[in-house]
């Protein structure tokens, strides 16, 4: 018993260390953004208290006000339309069985990990006045439809609905139709049963989906960055970026807009928490069984709708980019004399692109590895320790999931761009290290969420028994916990790596001078209307990233299989 207590006590330094690390990576940059509001020059030698008066200037400056209004319109409209699309698809997918149902799931996951700026670039290539649809078919009204607020809401909804889809789909896993049957026995018709029973039971999932879509949209930097070449639609993230990159640099403007962006996201989270708190939804009991979709006579029609939907959602943006990458000119159409490989040859021989790809892979791989390790320690502390601050650890690990990368990057500039840090060789601003730190901070919530489910399946009594046998904390982690959660570690690494390579916000805000990163290279080529080079580099890098992810997955599966066989062989002997 003494050994077990000593082992538990030894975890306190681990908890304290991980708390400090999360504070430095996530919480401190956000606090710096808030402090910049009260002391606009605090981080740059001007310790003058200004109060909160700077916040009111937002309503006096046209660009600031327009950015706020545009962001709210885009996020709110996308949240409602995206949740409607995602929720409807989830209900159809769970209720009826049809041949291509799996295609909807694949589409949702592809959209979940695909960078928004690449999807937006595909829509620009397809729908702008000189785009494919106008050049090939002479349809000009598509451009007028897309490049206006309602059109942008439609485009964003088609790229963000997957968040609501997955939220509602998880709530439909169990069959509770006996409640509907009870309502029908009491005189309710089909619509009444749906309206009074089934939809209210799904309300938490719909609210969760709405909140996720809203937060993801209002913090999105990729869409306005891609649209900047053809349509002026300032949003809070893009105006923050412009403030940092204008001359002279407007840190006060970036701080104010970042503050408003964080406040809006917090309010969206409060809506979610209040909706969950005010109602009881514990409707699962011993009669609940797994929901099994039913085969219907018109299932071919559902499959056809699925094909059309996937063509619109993925085929248009991705297909447009792929087609343009093989075309000498966009107006040449699908003709053999317009087919070319020159952009791919140019990309594969372009030193800037190759350096960008190498740097992004290196940074993303390092950040993914660090985030997996941090996520492992965070999950361990939360589940298997009595550390009194583990609630705070869990909260901090979730914060960066809701805070946009553009805001986190602003905080990193405030913290790490200090003259006094040069004296101790810790001025990280303008170095690749700050990009790695920001990438780690952005990947931590994914690493924690993907691992914490695996940790919840491990009984604490197993660790207690190991501690009684004299196993140290390190031995408990390595010999007991790690084998149980190894698959989750691989999945979290792959997810963090894949999303980190194309993180445009962090790369754009923090990349050092003359240090090329892949998202910046692709985005700059697109802004310069070098569409062939931009799309070919997107296709090449996307294929390489997918190949690396698959290789990691297959290699890890083989290693795990060989280790298990070796262990079985040892036990049998």
pLDDT tens readout for residues 354-377: 999 999 999 999 999 999 999 888
pLDDT tens readout for residues 122-132: 888 888 877 78
Identify which of 6, 1, 3, 10 has the alpha carbon closest to the alpha carbon of residue 387: 10
Q: What residue has token string 């990947």?
A: 443
pLDDT above 60 for 50: no
Q: Mean pLDDT check: name the lowest of 255-269, 326-340, 463-477, 479-493.
A: 463-477
Token output for 100? 């291509």
pLDDT at residue number 285:
45
Fold of the domain spanning 1-52+343-512: MetI-like fold (1.10.3720)
Identify which of 268, 90, 95, 73 has the alpha carbon closest to the alpha carbon of residue 163: 90
Distance between CA atoms of residues 116 and 318, nearest Å:
11
CA distances from residue 211 to 87, 94, 273, 474 in whole angstroms, order as listed: 13, 22, 10, 39
Distance between CA atoms of residues 114 and 541, nearest Å:
12
pLDDT at residue number 481:
76
pLDDT band of residue 278 (cuts 50, 70, 90) is low
* Cβ atoms of residues 87 and 168 within 8 Å: yes
Distance between CA atoms of residues 405 and 441, nearest Å:
9
Distance between CA atoms of residues 428 and 406, nearest Å:
18
pLDDT band of residue 544 (cuts 50, 70, 90) is very high
Residues written for the chain? 573
Q: 152 or 383: whose pLDDT is higher?
A: 152
pLDDT band of residue 196 (cuts 50, 70, 90) is low
Q: Mean pLDDT check: name the lowest of 26-30, 146-150, 282-286, 494-498.
A: 282-286
Q: 532 or 249: whose pLDDT is higher?
A: 532
**Mean pLDDT over residues 247-268, rounded?**
77
Distance between CA atoms of residues 514 and 213, nearest Å:
35
b/e map 252-261, b = 16+ CB within 10 Å: bbbbbbbbbb
Distance between CA atoms of residues 238 and 233, nearest Å:
9
Torsion, Cα of 338, 357, 487, 205 (10° steps): -70
**Mean pLDDT over residues 526-535, rounded?**
88
Percent of the chain with pLDDT over 70: 78
pLDDT at residue number 66:
86
pLDDT tens readout for residues 289-348: 555 667 767 778 888 888 999 999 988 899 888 888 998 877 766 677 788 899 999 999
Q: Mean pLDDT check: name the lowest of 49-58, 137-146, 508-517.
A: 49-58
pLDDT at residue number 557:
77
Q: 19 or 280: whose pLDDT is higher?
A: 19
Cis status of the peptide bond prior to 248, with omega within 30 of 0: yes
pLDDT band of residue 83 (cuts 50, 70, 90) is very high
* Cβ atoms of residues 429 and 416 within 8 Å: yes
Q: What is the DSSP string of 498-553?
A: HHHHT-HHHHHHHPPTT---HHHHHHHHHHTT-HHHHHHHHHHHHHHHHHHHHHHH
Q: CA angle 271-274-275, nearest 5°? A: 85
pLDDT tens readout for residues 140-169: 788 888 888 898 999 999 989 988 888 787
pLDDT at residue number 359:
94
Percent of the chain with pLDDT over 90: 14
pLDDT at residue number 485:
77
| pLDDT mean across residues, the chain | 79
Max Cα distance, the chain (Å): 80
Most confident of 29-43, 467-481, 543-557: 543-557
pLDDT above 50 for 283: no
User: Between β-strands 289-290 and 294-295, what pairing exists: parallel, antiparallel or unpaired?
Assistant: unpaired
pLDDT band of residue 1 (cuts 50, 70, 90) is very low
Q: Structure pTM?
A: 0.80
- Domain positions in the chain are 1-52+343-512
pLDDT at residue number 422:
76
pLDDT band of residue 7 (cuts 50, 70, 90) is very low
pLDDT at residue number 558:
79
pLDDT above 60 for 23: yes
pLDDT above 80 for 402: no
pLDDT above 90 for 78: yes
pLDDT at residue number 284:
44
- Host H or E run for residue 42: none
pLDDT at residue number 399:
73
pLDDT at residue number 43:
64
**Mean pLDDT over residues 63-90, rounded?**
90
pLDDT at residue number 8:
43
């Amino acid at each position: 018993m003494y050994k077990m207590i000593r082992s538990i006590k030894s975890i306190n330094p681990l908890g304290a260390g991980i708390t400090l690390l999360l504070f430095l990576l996530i919480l401190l940059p956000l606090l710096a953004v808030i402090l910049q509001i009260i002391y606009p020059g605090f981080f740059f030698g001007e310790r003058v208290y200004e109060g909160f008066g700077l916040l009111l200037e937002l309503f006096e400056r046209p660009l600031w006000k327009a950015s706020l209004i545009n962001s709210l319109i885009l996020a709110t409209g996308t949240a409602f339309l995206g949740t409607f699309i995602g929720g409807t698809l989830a209900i159809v997918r769970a209720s009826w069985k049809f041949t291509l149902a799996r295609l909807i799931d694949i589409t949702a996951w592809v959209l979940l990990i695909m960078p928004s700026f690449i999807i937006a670039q595909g829509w620009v290539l397809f729908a702008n006045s000189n785009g494919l649809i106008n050049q090939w078919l002479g349809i000009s009204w598509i451009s007028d439809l897309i490049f206006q607020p309602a059109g942008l809401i439609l485009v964003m909804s088609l790229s963000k609905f997957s968040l609501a889809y997955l939220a509602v789909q998880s709530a439909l896993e169990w069959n509770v139709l006996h409640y509907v049957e009870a309502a029908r026995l009491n005189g309710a018709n089909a619509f009444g049963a749906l309206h009074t029973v089934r939809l209210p039971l799904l309300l938490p999932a719909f609210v969760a989906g709405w909140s996720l879509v809203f937060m993801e949209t209002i913090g999105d930097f990729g869409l306005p960055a891609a649209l900047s070449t053809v349509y002026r639609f300032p949003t809070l993230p893009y105006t923050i970026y412009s403030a940092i990159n204008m001359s002279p640099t407007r840190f006060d403007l970036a701080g104010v807009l970042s503050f408003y962006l964080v406040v809006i996201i917090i309010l969206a989270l409060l809506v979610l928490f209040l909706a969950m708190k005010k109602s009881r939804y514990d409707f699962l009991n011993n009669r609940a069984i797994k929901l099994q979709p039913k085969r219907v006579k018109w299932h071919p029609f559902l499959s056809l709708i699925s094909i059309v939907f996937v063509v619109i959602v993925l085929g248009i943006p991705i297909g447009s980019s792929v087609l343009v990458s093989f075309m000498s000119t966009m107006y040449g159409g699908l003709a053999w004399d317009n087919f070319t490989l020159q952009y791919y040859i140019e990309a594969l021989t372009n030193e800037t692109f190759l350096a960008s790809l190498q740097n992004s892979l290196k940074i993303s791989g390092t950040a993914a590895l660090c985030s997996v390790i941090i996520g492992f320690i965070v999950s361990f502390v939360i589940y298997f320790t009595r550390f009194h601050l583990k609630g705070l650890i869990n909260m901090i690990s979730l914060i960066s999931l809701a805070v946009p990368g553009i805001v986190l990057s602003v905080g990193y500039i405030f913290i790490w761009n200090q003259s006094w840090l040069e004296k101790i060789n810790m001025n990280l601003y303008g170095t690749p290290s700050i990009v790695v730190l920001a990438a780690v901070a952005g990947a931590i919530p994914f690493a924690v969420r993907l691992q914490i489910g695996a940790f919840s399946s491990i009984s604490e009594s197993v660790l207690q028994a190991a501690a009684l046998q004299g196993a140290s904390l390190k031995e408990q982690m390595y010999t007991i916990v790690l084998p149980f959660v190894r698959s989750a570690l691989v999945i979290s690494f792959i997810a963090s790596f894949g999303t980190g390579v194309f993180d445009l916000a962090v790369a754009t805000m923090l990349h050092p001078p003359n240090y090329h990163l892949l998202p910046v290279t692709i985005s700059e080529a697109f802004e310069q209307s070098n569409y062939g080079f931009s799309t070919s580099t997107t296709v090449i890098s996307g294929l390489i990233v997918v190949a690396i992810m698959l290789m990691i997955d297959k290699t890890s599966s083989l290693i795990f299989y060989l280790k298990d066989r070796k262990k079985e062989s040892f036990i049998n002997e």
